[in-house]
Chain A
Amino acid sequence: MRAVAIGGSAGAVQALLRILPGLPADYPQTVLIVVHVPPDRDNALVPLLASRCAIAVKEAEDKEPTQPGVAYFAPADYHLLVEADGTLSLSSDELVNMSRPAIDVLFESAADAFGPQLTAVVLTGANSDGARGLKAVMAAGGAGVVEDPAGAYATAMPSAALEACGEAKTLNLDAIASYLLRL
């Protein structure tokens, strides 16, 4: 089982619109996504991206088995985690990096579940969520990709990720899209 985990905050919706529509319906990887969204709002991201993507896009459900060719979004106000058997769990635990869902929570659990079969991508954002998680992913043998801060809508998040993980690949959005296609 192979997976791509993606995290982003400010500007991430536009970034995802540059990346996800390029993936084919039979994409061989599971895609797991955390975007910081306000807790009270229904996740408008899922219908928006579902209408633009060839891969299936849905909100993650608790204890749902993951499948390749499907992108699962963390619901607003819940952390998204991956269990060792590849099923998804939600949690209502306290905020991490002032966020729920938090990118670190997804990345750290996905690193445990997928090990070297995981690629983690940190996109634009105005805080440092994801840096610690990316480190865990790479320590478990997974690949780390960070959006080039030079072209990012908000630089803090990719910069923090690069500071924590100097060996991560730095790519612009179009390069990320083609990188994920080659996986």
Chain B
Amino acid sequence: MVRDGVEDLEIGLLLEALFQRYHYDFRSYARASIKRRLLQAREQLGFPSLSALQDSLLHDPATLGRLLSYLTVQVSEMFRDPGYFRALREKVVPHLRTYPSLKVWVAGCSHGEELYSLAILFREEGLEERTIFYATDINPAALRAAEAGVYPMEQLKKFTANHQKSGGKSSLSDYYTADYGRAIFDKSLRSRVVFSDHSLVTDAVFGEMHLISCRNVLIYFDRPLQDRAIGLFRDSLARKGFLGLGSKESLRFSTHTGAFAEFDRDEKIYQRQDA
């Protein structure tokens, strides 16, 4: 049924070139979205064809950074899906309180919206001091943005409403200063954060986590790659550790589904259980 057009061939070749030249592996990403993003990059970067884009990619490393911003860009907002953060606050935090020290992994942190949401939530709940956050992404530019913690002021109205709906116990404005149309988040929020380059496609376990939050990342993967990532999460979680996914993601189709119990079905929060 697949109609093997030239463009589809070019996409396969370009992704292979990207992997062999720079070790960024998008070959197992869900193809329909990758195709949209590649065609958008081709058009906006001004190449006549994907083959021309590939040629530039192979010979000019500067093209890599420009292409990555198309392939990995994730739009998000702080406290996106407030019900998720409310469930973390009301149902997961009581479990986390029983541990003397905590590790939290924000996998695919992009520009850091989810990371800062969790850091604020943990501060409000008095858990921040005993927690180390790991914020990982494959795109170095995204990691720099996450580390900077600066967002356009026009987004703050939405962020603030989300924070309130999530059961926020403070005012979001306590955590940032406004400056020329930008909100700059307090650097103390990242004093317990380790930012790191990590790929769910090619990298391995790096610590034992009590909570992993990975939202709207797995939907970009094909089924086998989703399975790899979920296996990685299972192996990275402490006994009874928690895994939070995006509102339209689930473990239902995964081969690792037996390793997790549904902790909050509506908010897609899972708990590792021993086999």
Contacts and interface: CB of A to CB of B under 8 A. Distances in A.
B219 interface: yes
Given A61-B250, A92-B216, A109-B32, A84 B223 contact: no
Interface in A57-113: 61-64, 75, 78-79, 81-87, 89-94, 105, 108-109, 112-113
Interface residues of A, number: 29
B220 interface: yes
Interface in B9-52: 30-33, 35-37
A89 B32 contact: yes
B246 interface: yes
A94 B2 contact: no
Most buried by A among B31, B32, B36, B223: B32
Given A109-B32, A112-B32, A90 B219 contact: yes
Interface residues of B, number: 28
A75 B249 CA distance: 12
Nearest to B162: A40
Given A83-B30, A84-B31, A94 B75 contact: yes
A90 B74 CA distance: 13
A172 B73 CA distance: 41
B255 to A, nearest CB: 13
Nearest to A82: B32
A30 to B, nearest CB: 12
A108 B246 CA distance: 25
Contact of B35 (A61, A112, A114): A112
A113 B36 contact: no
A160 B248 CA distance: 31
B1 interface: yes
A92 B223 CA distance: 17
Contacts of A90: 219, 248
A83 B74 CA distance: 20
B244 to A, nearest CB: 15
B59 interface: no
B253 interface: yes
B248 A63 contact: no
Nearest to B161: A40
A7 interface: no
A73 to B, nearest CB: 12
Contact of B253 (A63, A89, A92, A140): A63
Contacts of A61: 248, 250, 252
Contacts of A84: 1-2, 8, 31-32
A149 interface: no
B73 A94 contact: yes
A115 interface: yes
26 contacts: A61-B248, A61-B252, A62-B248, A62-B249, A63-B226, A63-B253, A64-B253, A78-B219, A78-B248, A81-B32, A81-B33, A83-B31, A83-B222, A85-B1, A89-B30, A91-B220, A92-B219, A93-B36, A93-B37, A109-B35, A112-B3, A112-B8, A113-B2, A113-B32, A115-B1, A115-B3
Interface of A: 1, 61-64, 75, 78-79, 81-87, 89-94, 105, 108-109, 112-115, 140
When A and B form their complex, which 4 residue pairs have the shortest distance between CB atoms, in order from nearest? A81-B32, A92-B216, A109-B32, A84-B2
Interface of B: 1-3, 8, 30-33, 35-37, 73-76, 216, 218-220, 222-223, 226, 246, 248-250, 252-253
